[in-house]
Amino acid sequence: MNLTPRPASLPELVTGVRKTLSMWLDRKRGLSRGTAGFGMVLDRHVPILYSSCVDGAPLGIAHSAGSYRHAVILVFFAWSAEDAWSVKRTRRAAIQHRRANPGHRLVFLCNSAREAELLCESGEIAIHLNHNAFVSEFTFRPLAAVPPAYDAVYNARLAPFKRHALSLEVESCAFIYYQSGSETDAFDAALRERHARLAPGHVFVNRLEGGKPVRLTADEVNAVYNQASVGLCLSAIEGAMFSSMEYMLAGLPIVSTPSLGGRDTYFDDDYCIVAPADPREIRDAVAALKARAIPRDFIAQRALEKVARDRDRLTALLDALRERDGRSLPPREALFGPGPRVGWRPWSEFLEQLPPPAED
């Protein structure tokens, strides 16, 4: 397995010097980089870190790990990177980072084959290995004897790009949501009011405190999934959408619109319909999947079979990385057994799980 990136060209080096100067000026002005994101410590001792890129930190936790002379950072994209601008930004950031941290290795784990192709063409090491492989089947799973109460469920922020209006023709739908820094109480309230007026069978599950939704626990989310017949994925572009895999592991078939970002990686024609972005088409696709009454255990098992192949590929990648460090591979269960997996936290909390940096 080739884990060596292509050296930077002269134009890339010139651009890198300019960007490095810009970053230094930003720090002098007190401008901060992204300091939190999705992540996971895969190996404490090499170390190997798994991290999303976020606004202000195109390499995720790598930007905060400079005190470690040697580290492997596996970077995944929280948003689609299937465009030239994203690839150039990522390549530029990677070149800068390796110049400043020659002992760091960067590997991009991409949510779609196209992302991996574009990153490889740029000169980086990139593999199509979707982040939904980390979603836990111990948390999201079919529950026995739970009768459906809703035709569909949609787990998504109340953000414009999630296109909740496409669900308005579905007779009954449960919505699980949260607020990020991009949404406002007023926007959320207007969206809920629209559904109450136009779709009285729609229910927003989260209770409110001070006008803000209280996040459900993972077990509570799974319980709502098990009360629905179909899971919805309605955005045109985003990342791989963790909830798309959660739906399937809970035994739900999926109605999706065409999309960029990689959420269709583990879809299956037997229980996933990609429908045009029209409320009537979404309604009809939900009705069609509901009528099929596909056993939940069948969907969950098929999804796990698909995910297992990528988990094997990830294990092989980690094995190759550890071999360079002279370490053996721990049991697979240590990575994919019960317990917390990928979570959103400050980078500092992930780094605190590592041994202190070696002193020279």
Specify the pLDDT at position 360: 47
* Phi and psi at residue 246, to the nearest 5°: -60, -45
Q: Which residues does residue 76 pair with via DSSP β-bridges, in sequence order?
A: 52, 109
Round to whole Å and give the CA distance between 103 and 99. Answer: 9
Tell whether domain 150-294 is in CATH 3.30.230.10: no
Q: Which residues does residue 212 pair with via DSSP β-bridges, in sequence order?
A: 209
Length of the chain in terms of residues written: 360
* Phi and psi at residue 324, to the nearest 5°: -65, -25
**Alpha-carbon 35 to chain mean position:** 17
Round to whole Å and give the CA distance between 177 and 155. Answer: 6
Round to whole Å and give the CA distance between 317 and 109. Answer: 11
* Phi and psi at residue 343, to the nearest 5°: -140, 160
Q: Is 19 helix (H, G, I), strand (E, B) or coil?
A: helix
pLDDT tens per residue across all 360 residues of the chain: 566 676 656 554 444 444 444 444 444 333 345 789 999 999 998 899 999 998 889 999 999 999 999 999 999 999 999 999 999 999 999 999 999 999 999 999 999 999 999 999 999 999 999 999 999 999 999 998 778 999 999 999 999 999 999 999 999 999 999 998 788 999 999 999 999 999 999 999 999 999 899 999 999 999 999 999 999 999 999 999 999 999 999 999 999 999 999 999 999 999 999 999 999 999 999 999 999 999 999 999 999 999 999 999 999 898 888 877 667 666 666 788 887 789 999 999 999 999 998 764
Enter the tokens of residue 178. Answer: 């949260």
Q: Is 270 helix (H, G, I), strand (E, B) or coil?
A: coil
* Strand-by-strand arrangement of the 126-128 sheet: 126-128, 104-110, 71-77, 48-53, 36-43, 343-346
Classify residue 61 as exposed, middle or buried by CB count within 10 Å of its CB (0-12, 13-18, 19+). buried
Task: Please say whether the dihedral angle defined by the alpha carbons of residues 316, 321, 323 and 326, taken in this order, is positive or negative.
Answer: negative
Specify the pLDDT at position 13: 47
Global confidence as pTM: 0.89
- Within the chain, all domains assigned CATH 3.40.50.2000 are found at 150-294
64, 119, 61, 57: which is closest to 93 by C-alpha?
57
Residues 6+ apart with CB under 8 A from 110: 76, 77, 81, 116, 119, 126, 127, 128, 129, 130, 262
Contact (Cβ atoms closer than 8 angstroms) between residue 218 and residue 138:
no
Round to whole Å and give the CA distance between 185 and 263. Answer: 28
Neighbours of 24 (CB within 10 A): 10
Round to whole Å and give the CA distance between 266 and 357. Answer: 38
Q: Which residues does residue 110 pair with via DSSP β-bridges, in sequence order?
A: 128
